[in-house]
Amino acid sequence: MTEEDVSNNEYTSLSMELLGDILHFSKSGRLIVKIDKYKPFMKSGMNISDSQEKKIGKISEILGPVSSPYASIIPFIHKRNNLSGTKVYINAYLNKTQSKKNKSRFHIKRNKK
């Protein structure tokens, strides 16, 4: 994503939030990440990247207790060596058009009651 794309009015915020550290690859081929601090916006389907903003994968599911959660990541990369201990980040892009759609759907559902 270039600076021109980010400055476009479609996006309201662009940030990289620390997700946690990669522990290992599971037998199923997914990355297991120990989440440093769980935040409510962390959900399945969100893309994650390394400190150099290279996409690593997307969150498949969040596991474990709230006090010490883990994330299962579907990797976009194939190299498995030297990944354990790597800090990964959530790419938080909030798209204005999507947020308006979701709000209007929610509002419509609410009025039907």
Question: Mind listing the pLDDT tens digit for each residue in 63-99?
Answer: 998 888 999 999 988 776 678 888 999 976 654 444 4
112 vs 89: CA distance, rounded Å: 39
CATH code given to domain 3-112: 2.40.10.230
Nearest to 83 by CA among 106, 111, 50, 105: 50
Per-residue confidence at 15, pLDDT binned at 50, 70, 90? confident
Higher per-residue pLDDT: 35 or 40: 35
Q: Which pLDDT score, from 0 to 100, does residue 75 have? A: 92
Residues sharing a CB contact under 8 Å with residue 107, sequence separation 6 or more, in sequence order: none
Tokens of 16: 């990289």
Query: Does the pLDDT at position 4 exceed 70?
Result: no
Mean pLDDT computed over every residue of the chain: 76
